[in-house]
Amino acid sequence: MRMFDPRGRGGALLLLGSAFVFSGTLFSAGARQAAPTPDRWWSPGEQREWPELLSYPNDTSVVSILRTSKPIDVGTHPFFQPLGENGRACVTCHQPADGMSLSAATAQRQWAATGGKDPLFAMTDGANCANLKPEDPRSHSLLLERGLIRIPLPWPSKSIKGEPEIKIEVVRDPTGCNLDKTYGMNSASPTISVFRRPRPVANLRYILTVPNLFNIKTGYPVTLDAASGKRTSMNLMSDARLLTLKSQAEDAASVHLGATRKMTQAQLGQIEEFTSGLYMAATENRRVGRLDAAGATAGVQSILEGKPLLGDFIERRVFPYFEAWKSPEGTKQEKAFRASVARGEEIFMMRPFYIRDVTHLNTIIGMGNPIKRTCATCHNMQHVGIDGAPGWMDLGTNTLPWAERTDDLPLFKVTCSPKAAPHPYLGRVIHTTDPGRALITGKCVDVGAITLQQMRGLAARAPYFANGSARDLRAVVDFYDRRFEMKLTEQEKEDLTNFMGAL
Amino acid sequence: MRWGRAVLLAALSVSQAAYAQSAKRVSFVACPVLRDTHLPCWLADWNGETYYLGPQGDSAASFYSPQLKHRALIEATVGKGPRVCGGVPLENLSVSVMPEIDLSCSTILPAGEYESPVSPRGPGPAVRPHAPAPRPPEPQAPFVEKQFVLGFEFDSIFLARRNTNRLEEALRYARASNGRIRIETTRGASLLSDGTTIVERDAIATDRAERIVEILVDLGADRERIEHLASETPMPANGIDDPSRRRAVITVTP
């Protein structure tokens, strides 16, 4: 069995910053400092080792990545190579220490370490807009404060059949990019910029699973990938604009890496093989040690062995790991924490509240608005907590009236054609910081819809939601408490937070 | 359309005879109302009476729950059983969500003394997954002309799960029999209990037909072997079986 043992695998575990002592697995930072530890940050083109199990501590836990593909030579593997002009590689934004995403804290650390010269801060999309002053933190405020990357999307999108149902106007343009003469909506190649968090590149077998031929949200078959002749999950990216790992990688190479030459089929194959063999999860918690101990079964192994099945069942739960912690063992402190995680799981699965006014959830034929259900209704796929259906929905994180009141993101006014049916809950005039799926389909019903992210390795990759609006897991819980009037007690909030941190 | 009238007449003669003897039909447009029982139930008020529509469901439920913020067209037969959740039960129920928003549809009643309606699942996860439906057998020769009927909500072209299942079935049959596919769609109307008739929006029969063709082609059917006829003349409304006349009939001819 491949299990994580921080004492057993030299070099795999890196300790930086504060020296944690994880009870149960007790290791000391001092002992490791004899050999120079490679940095937490993976720079493109570096020659270093990617072991079978790679683990990094964060504030509350250890998040590990299990590699099931054959060993790779990081020095030549395309995921780690600066394939374009700006010096970035895939790993720049998909960092192992951050659960294969990128936390805002890491962006800040990298800024401090390089004076803003790291390729991460390439002006193309690592800045609020490409035309701002380089090496000035104000030009990169969205990346530094919220971990956001600029996503320029042509508008109207080529993927829209016929005329779009929606008209988009810029109401607020704090980055200047949407009204810019070169980069904006009225430029020679009209573009809308939205700002989104990198999504974890791991556990992809789940993300790519196609549970049904038909998408019950649209009544259409899920899209066919012409290259492979196979149906796709439509669960990649916030807006499902790319459907396969290959097309995603090609797009990323050109947009994020500034590659001018196409990747070869061999390179694409290498990226696909490596990334689809990565399994990532929290494996330890600072307060109780391993998350697959004392009867619990969380950690990477469960994802590796699991199947991408619907988990919205009492007898087949989404994260079926913590049953034993309902009557926990351990010291008083350990017991308290384990019990809290188990209660959090119970709340996630079982505590009903009214889910209301969420397009592509309440509008699913049969469900109704509102529907009294639980977190697991939407986060329903076992081991990862995505929605296999596929998962784009207008939860309200980016759309008024529910979105966080902020001045630092662009605000768009979307007007739906009187000829089209209105958005089922917001009508024909909608204010949003990210039109989401509608940027790809041009449909009124899709305005604001964002694809659920997976829920693993959360502790390593704050902030949360596609627009980084939840600073920490507690803020995620507070959002839901407000959005769905859940009336969670202080204890319930803490339990949910502890539970999510243990994923 | 010759075909349209024939089917229509057949439908009328059967259903009218059956309904006339016993059942009272109601058809009305009203705000749905939710009762906050442990498992919520859906109600609607009309003409001084409260009707029970059904329990909160899921995507596999036979009763399609309505939407607050939208009025609904309710077409049903008044049932005979005891009240449920405070409402008179309905049978042969069709619920259509009206596409435009109506913010006055916002009532959630307290549970009061009412109990949860009987339902396969509560307000949370179901107990266990259904056993997967057995794969339907491959259609076998001899092949004959066969019809597959898809029903629609009023003013909607959305294909809900039971329709997409039937569409797949039709396509399987067409493939196995190397058949041609003819799609005939209607534009419905509904005679309400207050005597008014409402008619579905313009061009809806065409939109229904085009959507079905689009999906069949996406699933690999040969566009050359599909024809479609959309009848935009509203179907006559009788307040009895209006829901069954918002439809697409897919005929596979081997």
Tokens of B66: 């309505």
What's the whole-number mean pLDDT along residues A219-234?
95
Query: CA-based angle A9:A15:A16, to the nearest 5?
Result: 155
Q: Find the closest chain A residue to B37 by CA distance.
A: A372
What's the whole-number mean pLDDT along residues B25-39?
97
Decide: helix, strand or coil at residue A370: coil
Residues from chain B that touch A214, judged by Cβ atoms under 8 A, are 159, 161, 164
Q: Which of B101, B124, B219 sits opposite A373 (nearest CB)?
A: B124
Inter-chain CB proximity A350 and B125 less than 8 Å:
yes
What's the whole-number mean pLDDT along residues A452-472?
98
- Say if CB A468 and CB A476 are below 8 A apart: no
Tokens of A497: 């937070």
What's the whole-number mean pLDDT along residues A54-71?
97
Does the structure show a pLDDT above 80 at B10? no
How far is residue A41's CA from residue A39's CA, in Å, rounded to a whole number? 5
- Say if CB A392 and CB A360 are below 8 A apart: yes
What's the whole-number mean pLDDT along residues B160-168?
92
Q: What is the pLDDT of residues A270-295, one digit of tens each?
A: 999 999 999 999 999 999 999 999 99
Inter-chain CB proximity B125 and A312 less than 8 Å:
yes
Q: What is the pLDDT of residues B66-109, one digit of tens each?
A: 999 999 999 999 999 999 999 999 999 999 999 999 999 999 99
Q: Which of A310, A368, A421 sits opposite B99 (nearest CB)?
A: A421
Residues from chain A that touch B219, judged by Cβ atoms under 8 A, are 213, 221
Confidence of residue A4 (pLDDT cuts 50, 70, 90): very low
Tokens of B162: 């039971």
Does the structure show a pLDDT above 90 at A399? yes
How would DSSP label each residue in B106-163? --EEE-TTPPPPP-SS-SS-BSSPPPPPPPPPPP-SSP--EEEEEE--TT-----HHH
What's the whole-number mean pLDDT along residues A139-159?
97
Does the structure show a pLDDT above 60 at A30? no
Q: A245-258 b/e with 16+ CB inside 10 Å = b?
A: bbbbbbebbbbbbb
What's the whole-number mean pLDDT along residues B40-50?
97
Residues from chain B that touch A357, judged by Cβ atoms under 8 A, are 69
Residue of A231, A372, A429 to mutate, testing the B interface (most B Cβ within 10 Å of its Cβ): A372
Does the structure show a pLDDT above 70 at A13? no
pLDDT confidence of residue A431: 98
Inter-chain CB proximity A367 and B163 less than 8 Å:
no
Q: Give the minimum alpha-carbon distance from A255 to chain B in angstroms, rounded to a whole number.
A: 30
Inter-chain CB proximity A219 and B42 less than 8 Å:
no
What's the whole-number mean pLDDT along residues A470-490?
98
pLDDT confidence of residue A15: 37
Does the structure show a pLDDT above 90 at A19? no
Residues from chain A that touch B70, judged by Cβ atoms under 8 A, are 369, 424
Inter-chain CB proximity B128 and A313 less than 8 Å:
yes
Q: Which of A221, A422, A427 sits opposite B219 (nearest CB)?
A: A221
Sort strands A371-373 and A353-355 into parallel, antiparallel or unpaired: antiparallel
pLDDT confidence of residue A319: 98
pTM attached to this predicted model: 0.93
Chain A / chain B CB contacts < 8 angstroms = 110
The answer to which of A8-12, A144-148, B185-189 has the lowest mean pLDDT is: A8-12
Q: Find the closest chain A residue to B99 by CA distance.
A: A421
Tokens of A190: 């009209």
Does the structure show a pLDDT above 60 at A25? no
pLDDT confidence of residue B120: 83
- Architecture of the B146-253 domain: 2-Layer Sandwich (3.30)
Inter-chain CB proximity A366 and B159 less than 8 Å:
no
What's the whole-number mean pLDDT along residues A286-310?
97
Q: What is the ipTM of this complex?
A: 0.90
Average pLDDT, chain A: 92
Dihedral sign of CA atoms A101, A105, A109, A110 in order: positive
pLDDT confidence of residue B12: 44
Does the structure show a pLDDT above 70 at B9? no
Residues from chain A that touch B218, judged by Cβ atoms under 8 A, are 220-221, 224
CB-count burial class (<10 Å; 0-12, 13-18, 19+) for B169: middle
**Residues within 8 A of A (CB atoms), B 125-144 only:** 125-129
Q: Give the minimum alpha-carbon distance from A427 to chain B in angstroms, rounded to a whole number.
A: 7
Inter-chain CB proximity B123 and A421 less than 8 Å:
no
Q: What is the pLDDT of residues B51-68, one digit of tens each?
A: 999 999 888 888 889 999
How far is residue A99's CA from residue A503's CA, in Å, rounded to a whole number? 11
Confidence of residue A139 (pLDDT cuts 50, 70, 90): very high
The answer to which of A172-186, A268-282, B8-22 has the lowest mean pLDDT is: B8-22
Q: Which of A221, A368, A373 sits opposite B66 (nearest CB)?
A: A368
Residues from chain B that touch A376, judged by Cβ atoms under 8 A, are 124-125
Inter-chain CB proximity A371 and B161 less than 8 Å:
no
**What count of other Cβ atoms lies within 10 Å of the Cβ of residue B5?**
9
Inter-chain CB proximity B64 and A362 less than 8 Å:
no
pLDDT confidence of residue B136: 84
Q: Where are the domains of chain B?
A: 24-110, 146-253
Confidence of residue B133 (pLDDT cuts 50, 70, 90): confident
Q: Which of A313, A365, A425 sits opposite B125 (nearest CB)?
A: A313
Residues from chain B that touch A378, judged by Cβ atoms under 8 A, are none
Residue of B31, B34, B63, B67 to mutate, testing the A interface (most A Cβ within 10 Å of its Cβ): B67
Q: Find the closest chain B residue to A214 by CA distance.
A: B164
How far is residue A26's CA from residue A444's CA, in Å, rounded to a whole number? 54
How far is residue A47's CA from residue B95's CA, in Å, rounded to a whole number? 64
By C-alpha distance, which of A289, A318, A434, A424 is closest to A377? A318
Inter-chain CB proximity B67 and A369 less than 8 Å:
yes
What's the whole-number mean pLDDT along residues A32-50?
82
Q: What is the pLDDT of residues A403-460, one digit of tens each?
A: 998 899 999 999 999 999 999 999 999 999 999 999 999 999 999 999 999 999 999 9
Considering only residues A29 and A89, tell me which one the structure prediction assigns the higher pLDDT: A89
Q: Give the minimum alpha-carbon distance from B40 to chain A in angstroms, rounded to a whole number.
A: 7
pLDDT confidence of residue B11: 45
| Token pair 């570096």: residue | A46
What is the Cα B111 distance to its own chain's centre? 29
C-alpha dist (Å) from residue A307 to A230, A323, A376, A502: 20, 19, 17, 20
* Torsion angle in degrees (nearest 10) through CA of A444, A445, A446, A447: 50
Q: What single letter denotes the amino acid at residue A234?
A: M
Inter-chain CB proximity B65 and A313 less than 8 Å:
no
Inter-chain CB proximity A314 and B42 less than 8 Å:
no
Q: What is the pLDDT of residues B231-241, one digit of tens each?
A: 999 999 999 99
Residues 6+ apart with CB under 8 A from A452: A378, A379, A385, A386, A387, A391, A392, A393
Considering only residues A244 and B18, tell me which one the structure prediction assigns the higher pLDDT: A244
**Residues within 8 A of A (CB atoms), B 79-118 only:** 99-101, 108
